[in-house]
Structure 1
Amino acid sequence: MTRQEQPRTPYEPDLEEDWLAPEEEQVIEGDLSVRAVVVGLLVGVVLCMTNVYFGLQTGWVSMMSLQSALLGYAIFLVLPKLLPSVMSRPFTVQENVILQTTAVATGTMPLAAGLVGIIPALEMLDIKLDGRGPIRLTWTHLIAWCLAVAFFGVFLAVPLRRQVIIKEKLVFPSGTATAQLIALLHKAPPPAQALDPSRIGAYARIPRDSNEVTETRQVGPAGPGGTAEKQQVMGGSAWRMLGLSFAASGAMTFLSFLFPVLYAIPAFDILSIPFGTSLAASWMWWFTPSLSYVGQGIIMGFPVTVSMNIGMIVGWAFLSPLSKMMGWAPGPVSSTTNGARGWILWVALAIMIAESLISLLPSFFASLQRQISHFRQNKAPTRMFAAAHSSPRGSHDTATGDDYYEPMTGEPDEDAEHEPPHRLVPLSWVLWGLGASGVLGVGLVWYVFGDDGIKPWATAAGLILASGLAVVGVRALGETDINPVSGIGKISQLLFAILQPGNVVANLIAGGVAEAGAQQAGDLMQDLKTGHLLRASPRSQFYGQMIGSLASVFVSTAGYKFYTSVYQIPGPQFAVPSAGVWLNLARLLNNGHLPSHVIPFMALFAALFGLIALLKALRPRLNLEPSSPSSRAISHLPSGIAFAVGFLNSPSFSIARLIGGYIAYRSAKASGRGETPLLAIVVASGFVLGEGVLSIVSLGLTSAGYGAISCWGCGVGGGGYCSGGCS
């Protein structure tokens, strides 16, 4: 498609023959377009439903920023033929930033609203253990709950941008990687701020309620020649591979719906033949050849999947049989209350709390030190906020409505804000937004749960706690690509066990409120980093975040209600491991009961992974050479969160992820650069999205009364999908 020549505006790219031709300069105006927001919402709906599916199944969730940018760009490749009028002008880099920002805000609401953790945990309450029965929210109450936590984190992210992105120039690896990918797709110059090559690339997240583990890898070489090679990789063959991987994963998902044994193969039963038992039926050792989990493994990377599978072996091959045979967990192995699965969950919880809290300490002390430094430089809060409304101070004036930490002197500032005021979010919006969203949150939570659930003052305390912890979480995310929301949630639960003792419901709600704010602020800060590198308007991104969050309130509620109305949750197909973590800790803090003989194992593993987390946190301060044996040894220590996820998920999912991790390792080795090729990441994205989308089709068929064509093989000893689809 060609475009008629016309006079260029100062912000318009000089396009060649193709409507997606290379841009000579970055567009910095007109990025908030209706088409970018609408397509962002469409992509976000897909991501939202996908996150509900994977979150309920294994607790695995993802921002999917890279996938959003890929899908959005692919849609705009097709739109010129379908809607020529919509494509009268080119789809710009900045519009893609707004598109993926809107999509991420829409797709992450199931996580922020606790639909894969807090809400299922409330439905798992037991009157004997918790003093009250299950709480099942109606459609109206669930929408009200989502509205209560939908916007506070968005307003929290705005004032933090000036400090962590402009002043401190934190890396935010995933946000930077997304910026690089968008620039690559549009054949635009790469972002100005380069990353350490070892920290660039694709990312993935695993259990939101279990912290977030991220692995970053370079998606292409920097410098001259790198762009040309990347552009060649993202040619027609890459798009074909994305389509083929999507189709293959979707087909496998649909076949598993028709023949459930395909996702519950009792492959390990051959090892138990001499003992006359079934590892699948008795110990949950079946194999799920899910391409989506293979794709997750590719994105996560080999080190994370290895840590996960080490945890799987320790938890499911040693501790699970030990607890069962010793009579410490007398119930069925799959039971989360009195079975081995529930017993090892406590060990996983101890690991996650220990690593999360230890990992938080460096960022906490760094944040405290910086705040003390600001006050010592006469930057009291009143002066910080006054700077935002100061009169011009000369040629070096950089005070704007987003300028919360700007020096009051008229001296040049190398960290000056380059965005004009009309592209920034005014301070007054932030203050009014925080106040309004806080009042809205307190009021709606009280409306949903009443005084018996949580007191209004306690909800307000949770929001205040989220404000403080968000600073720590955002800085940790910017430095390490890990948002320690698990530690933040657990800190909240510990605090509210004191503020409202004996109230399991209040403990869960308060923890969820605090975690939601910190999680949203961190996720959206990644998007703001992407926008900063590609010169997208922060105000336009703010609009996209607000629109996406509002839309997702209704999409997330619908998705969750559809799944819970069709499937047993928790059940064979959707174990909801994150809900078990939240509920068990709340019960422990309020009732003090632990399974038999689990305390020594909790203490042992907590101490071990607390020490590992401490070594990793101190490594940058030890001034070790990266190639030294000590530094290499520390870098190869397993991730405690990934290790714990091996406990939370049944072996089938961890094994599939390990296959993907090994594919990433082999493809990186074959590339000759030690990095996973971008083509592999594209294929992995197709795998993940294929199962996520086709799961919606399966949901519709199940709700319409359709089921498996054949349950052949399930009686051999299958589990998981088998026992759910052929019950």
Structure 2
Amino acid sequence: MSHPVSGLSGTDHPAAAPAPPLSLVTEPPAALELTARALGMGLLIGGLLAVTNVYMGLKTGWWESGSVTAAVLGFSALASVSRRRGVPYTPLENNLTQTAAASVGAMPAAAGLLGALPALTMLGTSVPAWGVAVWSVALGALGVLAAHLLRRRLVAQEALPFPTGIATAELITAMHASTADTVRAGRGRLLAGAGAVAVAITAARDALKWLPGMTAMPGTLAGLPAASLTWGVGWSPMLLAIGMMTGPRLGLSMLAGAAVAWGVLAPGLAGAGVLADTRYETLSAWLTWPGVGLMVGSAMAALLAQARDFLTAARDLGSLGRGTAVPPWALGAGLAACVLAVVVGSALFGLSVPYMLLALVLVLPLCAVCARGAGQVDVSPVTQMGQVTQVIFGALLPGAMAPNVAAGAVVSGAAAQTGVSMWSLKAGHLLGASARHQLAAQLVGVLAGSVVGVPVYLLLSRTHGLGSEALPAPFAHQFRAVAEVAVRGLDGLPPHAALAACVAVGVGALLTLVSRGRAARWLPLPVALGIGFILPAYYAVTLCLGALGLAAARWRWPRAADRDTSTLAAGAIAGESLAGVLIAALMAFGLA
């Protein structure tokens, strides 16, 4: 499961010791790689990933990097057909398919559609669609180029693990070595079946209104109906699937956060008369502050633990001039992306040219930190890098809220694409792929991702409203809160929210530091705790049910659960996301 917004991108594998570069597949010199079918399939799968990531990210904060999923879908779609036509679909083509798809799928995060841009909307800054599209292309291209500049140092010389990249390469190798067409066909049917069920449930819930958004929990808390505090079980295949993919620890952590927020604090605030009313919007506005505090405290502690990576990043940058594989035309594209970013940043976000140039100067070193994190522990600390930038600009531009968020978006957007690109480059390195072919596929993916992601974002935001119960956009609250504190301090917060936020910062930092030891498996994840504060309670309940249901299935049917979980979950997430976007389009045109 991915979330380069604060380390939810990639799986949380322990760091492995660097190993010498390994080639998993030896291809003849004439092996096909950058072909129309490989690139076209990658863009198609990536488009589906981009739609899914916008929908899922605005609802829950999670998004999927998609490398493994794209490799499976590309192979399922092309391998048998290509073999029958006498031109086999090669492992290098499959790698290029997943490379392009991952680049497209990462664009919602790179463009800031899941955090920074919703935060700007909440702050009253409106950005035209053309500006969002140009902005996204510029940041996505910078992130891709940063990854290729760092490739030689981190992938070839140090051979950092990049576990997602290794898993992708091993999967491609295994699929192309296998002749079990019946197994692959079975997985395809499972994916399609899960998607069809998710589409049906989403249509019955959102379009036909046969199902409620949630089945409310009976009873009261402090005199308030549990349903008014959003307690219940949601009719959402996507939430169940996210729980299946992220596991019990994250699900239980999120449920614990919801229990404290919506089971203790919200009823307490209502009973004490602290807030003017007990509507969801009012309660959520207060609970956002301790929720963000947990995430910020965790980010601060993680940055402290990564201090060595900041020093190492300087060595990474010092090696860029030696033997880089980035062609001159790509460096020209990077210069053009910088010019576009400066123009859009100054014209639409109020960042003057000198400050925009400063933000661009921070991109490469902070992307290097994210790339090293992705290589060592498979987690790219994207949000943390954006927050570092926000704090810097809060000191430089006091009182400027929108420029503060925009500056954070420059770094976090480029870093999101860098992390995903590094996983693809690691897989390509192991498979013997051409880095230049991967670079071309990734840059084409950046263009395609902006074309797909921006319209979907605008459609969903205008139909449901950002920050609503239907579209909570949890990480937009984090961007906005950090900007408000960096610019104005703690003034203007709701009553007692400042104290709650400060306590939460300490709790988040403590949990992060302590969880680096043996007690990690027994402690809640502070980021998931914080998200439990921000989302409606039934999101956490439903997600946790998915996680615990899978744990029970794995205990009873371990082989089947390990084999089919990712396929089943991917189908459910894609089905609800695509149906949700289609229904939003019908609503926008007055047809639903």
Equivalent position SS for 1:287 = strand
Which of the pair is proportionally richer in helix?
2
Aligned CA-pair RMSD = 2.6
Quick one: structure 1 residues 312 and 27, their matched pair in 2 at CA, closer, same or farther if it must change by over 3 Å? Answer: farther
Distance 2:343 2:224 in 1: 55
Contact kept, 8 Å, 1:324 with 1:333, in 2: the verdict is no
Contact kept, 8 Å, 2:290 with 2:497, in 1: the verdict is yes
Paired letter, 1:289: W
Question: Which residue does the alignment assign to 1:240?
Answer: 189
Equivalent position SS for 1:89 = coil
Alignment partner of 1:589 out of 486, 497, 517? 486
Alignment partner of 2:415 out of 503, 510, 518? 518
Q: How does 1:132-531 map to 2 (within 5 A)?
A: 134-187=124-177, 234-260=183-209, 262-268=211-217, 270-272=218-220, 278-280=225-227, 282-335=228-281, 339-368=282-311, 371=314, 381=318, 384=319, 387-388=322-323, 401-402=324-325, 425-426=326-327, 428-429=328-329, 431-449=331-349, 453-531=350-428
Contact kept, 8 Å, 1:359 with 1:613, in 2: the verdict is yes
CA shift, 1:558, in A, is: 1.7
Distance 1:671 1:530 in 2: 31
Distance 1:177 1:108 in 2: 18
Equivalent position SS for 1:165 = helix
Paired letter, 1:111: A
Distance 1:112 1:371 in 2: 24
Question: Which residue does the alignment assign to 1:45?
Answer: 47
Does residue 693 (structure 1) correspond to residue 578 (structure 2)? The answer is: yes
Distance 2:416 2:465 in 1: 28
Quick one: structure 1 residues 505 and 240, their matched pair in 2 at CA, closer, same or farther if it must change by over 3 Å? Answer: same
Contact kept, 8 Å, 1:27 with 1:92, in 2: the verdict is no
CA shift, 1:99, in A, is: 0.8
Quick one: structure 1 residues 121 and 604, their matched pair in 2 at CA, closer, same or farther if it must change by over 3 Å? Answer: closer
Does residue 541 (structure 1) correspond to residue 489 (structure 2)? The answer is: no
Equivalent position SS for 1:135 = coil
Contact kept, 8 Å, 1:474 with 1:521, in 2: the verdict is yes
Equivalent position SS for 2:132 = helix
Number of aligned pairs?
A: 566
TM-score (norm 1): 0.73
CA shift, 1:705, in A, is: 1.8
CA shift, 1:50, in A, is: 1.4
Contact kept, 8 Å, 1:462 with 1:510, in 2: the verdict is yes
Quick one: structure 1 residues 116 and 171, their matched pair in 2 at CA, closer, same or farther if it must change by over 3 Å? Answer: same
Paired letter, 2:571: G
CA shift, 1:79, in A, is: 4.8
Does residue 568 (structure 1) correspond to residue 468 (structure 2)? The answer is: no
Quick one: structure 1 residues 100 and 582, their matched pair in 2 at CA, closer, same or farther if it must change by over 3 Å? Answer: same
CA shift, 1:35, in A, is: 0.9
CA shift, 1:641, in A, is: 0.9
Distance 2:416 2:588 in 1: 32
Distance 1:448 1:173 in 2: 39
Quick one: structure 1 residues 680 and 27, their matched pair in 2 at CA, closer, same or farther if it must change by over 3 Å? Answer: farther
Contact kept, 8 Å, 1:503 with 1:590, in 2: the verdict is yes
Deviations 1:477-523 (A, max 9, x none): 22222211121111111110111110001101001011112221111
Paired letter, 1:52: V
Question: Which residue does the alignment assign to 2:521?
Answer: 635
Distance 2:365 2:78 in 1: 40
Paired letter, 2:346: W
Equivalent position SS for 1:587 = helix
Contact kept, 8 Å, 1:476 with 1:484, in 2: the verdict is yes
Quick one: structure 1 residues 318 and 275, their matched pair in 2 at CA, closer, same or farther if it must change by over 3 Å? Answer: closer
CA shift, 1:248, in A, is: 1.0
TM-score (norm 2): 0.89
Question: Which residue does the alignment assign to 1:207?
Answer: none
Q: How does 1:23-102 map to 2 (within 5 A)?
A: 25-26=26-27, 29-76=31-78, 79=81, 87-102=85-100
Contact kept, 8 Å, 1:363 with 1:475, in 2: the verdict is no
Alignment partner of 1:578 out of 466, 475, 484? 475
Quick one: structure 1 residues 573 and 609, their matched pair in 2 at CA, closer, same or farther if it must change by over 3 Å? Answer: closer
Distance 1:571 1:601 in 2: 23
CA shift, 1:30, in A, is: 2.7
Contact kept, 8 Å, 2:256 with 2:532, in 1: the verdict is yes
Distance 2:371 2:56 in 1: 25
Question: Which residue does the alignment assign to 1:614?
Answer: 513
CA shift, 1:264, in A, is: 2.1
Quick one: structure 1 residues 176 and 648, their matched pair in 2 at CA, closer, same or farther if it must change by over 3 Å? Answer: farther
Contact kept, 8 Å, 2:205 with 2:211, in 1: the verdict is yes
Contact kept, 8 Å, 2:405 with 2:479, in 1: the verdict is yes
Quick one: structure 1 residues 74 and 500, their matched pair in 2 at CA, closer, same or farther if it must change by over 3 Å? Answer: same
Relative contact order, CA 8 A, sep 6+: which one is greater? 2
Paired letter, 1:308: M
Alignment partner of 1:598 out of 497, 520, 533? 497
CA shift, 1:347, in A, is: 0.8
Identical counterparts, % of pairs: 28
Contact kept, 8 Å, 2:224 with 2:267, in 1: the verdict is no
Deviations 1:152-201 (A, max 9, x none): 1111001211122222222222222222222232226xxxxxxxxxxxxx
Distance 1:45 1:313 in 2: 36
Contact kept, 8 Å, 1:263 with 1:287, in 2: the verdict is no
Quick one: structure 1 residues 669 and 534, their matched pair in 2 at CA, closer, same or farther if it must change by over 3 Å? Answer: farther
Equivalent position SS for 1:48 = helix
Deviations 1:538-595 (A, max 9, x none): 1111111100001222222221222234333333421222222212221222223222
Deviates more, 1:644-653 or 1:660-669: 660-669
Quick one: structure 1 residues 77 and 332, their matched pair in 2 at CA, closer, same or farther if it must change by over 3 Å? Answer: farther
Structure number with greater Rg is: 1
Contact kept, 8 Å, 1:667 with 1:680, in 2: the verdict is no
Equivalent position SS for 2:445 = helix
Unpaired runs of 5+ residues, structure 1, are 1-22, 126-133, 189-227, 375-379, 389-400, 403-424, 620-630, 708-727
Distance 1:24 1:166 in 2: 17
Contact kept, 8 Å, 1:148 with 1:442, in 2: the verdict is no
Distance 1:324 1:457 in 2: 47
Q: How does 1:553-564 map to 2 (within 5 A)?
A: 553-564=450-461
Question: Which residue does the alignment assign to 1:716?
Answer: none
Deviates more, 1:318-327 or 1:148-157: 318-327
